[in-house]
Amino acid sequence: MMRVMKAGLVYDPIYLEHDTGSHPENSHRLVAIMSHLEESGTKEKLTRLPPRPALVEELKMVHTAEYISQVKSKAEKGGGWLDPDTVICPKSYEVALYAAGGLLTATEAVMKREVSSAVALVRPPGHHATSNRAMGFCIFNNVAVAAKFALANFNLERLLIADFDVHHGNGTQDTFYADPKVLYFSTHQYPFYPGTGWIDETGTGEGEGFTVNFPMTAGWGDEEYLRAFNEVLVPVARRFQPDFILVSAGFDTHWTDSIAMMQVSITGFVQMVTILRDLAAELCQGRLVFTLEGGYDLQAVPHALKAILDVLLGNAEIDDPVGKSPSARKPGGFEEHIKKIMEIHHIE
Ligand SMILES: [Zn+2]
């Protein structure tokens, strides 16, 4: 028997107003995703969740007051570059408040059981932003703000953040590095931007052991990601027993993405998302929220979003029209690598 699952979608046209010009992180990404969800009939099956802006007080759970006002005043003065990769326009501060707020809307809807799970299609993305610095197309750390908000407002004890963007979420890791209440698990191409995320970064002080990095050699794909999820994420999550799961969903891990070199297919994303959905069902009453991070191939990303929404809706048939990577050469070393990570994290 199929269980009917209600999945929420956070989206608002305000997300198109963060104007980055010809930068790869631009509004065409969301336009392409939304039109595919519309044409494929997926949108009408989703519960629409109109986002609210995050309050400055909520951002301050992650970011310094100085940094927040610096972004605001830079936008007011016409915008410009916050870091060598991150450009803003006059509207970007407001849009960034809605991006962080979109995750808060999704979190509230899941915690109040209005929906079983939700996907927040927001931009700018967030996982590189640190307490006092914009980095890598990110202004405020949307997922970190949502995690702090969930812990503060819904009486949760433990929260898991899983991050399958092709880049390491250095800002998210930093935010919770000493915090035993938030377990951060990341798979990412390594060595690669932003340079962090090696296996020996495992947390500090009371947070020791609650950061789990699974760096990936360029060229690995579905098989390696699936094993990282099944053999590392699953046992670590079962041991940790989260009350809520947040996911930094980046689709720049797809084999067609031009800015990175991993070989994951849409089928691979579907398998990872199925594992996350099943973990949430087993451990935390299904509470699961995804936020869009990277992903720049305007062909693959809309299909990937539709596919993962099909997983959340409980649909049995899921398409991968883009198919598997044709790349035949795969670098070795995976067995030793996963063994080392399992040792570091005391996984039997
Ligand atoms: Zn990325």
Residue 92 CB-half CA count within 13 A:
33
Low-confidence residues in the chain, pLDDT < 50: 1-2
Q: Which pLDDT belongs to residue 3?
A: 55
pLDDT score recorded for residue 1: 40
Structure tokens, 148: 């702090």
Q: Residue 159 Cα, ligand 1 centroid: separation in angstroms?
A: 22
Phi, psi of 170 (to 5 degrees): -60, -35
Q: How far apart are CA 117 and CA 136, in angstroms?
A: 27
CB within 8 A of 83, min separation 6: which ones?
Answer: 133, 134, 135, 136
CA 256 to CA 122: how far, in whole Å? 22
Q: Measured between alpha carbons, how far is residue 31 from residues 36, 123, 338 in Å?
A: 9, 12, 38
What is the token pair recorded at 106?
């999704």
Q: What angle do CA 236, 166, 51 make, to 5 degrees?
A: 85
pTM: 0.98
Give dist(CA 209, CA 291) in Å, integer: 24
Q: How far is the CA of 94 from the centre of ligand 1 (A)?
A: 22
Type of residue numbered 284: C
Q: Which amino acid is at 150?
A: A
Active site residue 303: no
From start to end of 224-313, where are the E strands? 244-249, 288-292
Dist. CA 68–CA 323, nearest whole Å: 42
pLDDT given for residue 5 in this prediction:
79
User: Residue 348 Cα, ligand 1 centroid: separation in angstroms?
Assistant: 31
Q: How far is the CA of 6 from the centre of ligand 1 (A)?
A: 28
Alpha carbons 342 and 325: distance in angstroms, whole number: 28
Which pair of tokens denotes residue 278? 């099943």
Distance from the alpha carbon of residue 276 to the mean position of ligand 1, in angstroms: 19
Which residue in this structure is represented by tokens 């099944």?
230
Contact 224, 334 (CB under 8 A): yes
Choose the catalytic residue: 18, 128, 303, 345: 128
Among 206, 228, 217, 198, CA closest to 332: 217
Q: Is 49 helix (H, G, I), strand (E, B) or coil?
A: strand
CA of 157 to the centre of ligand 1 (A): 29
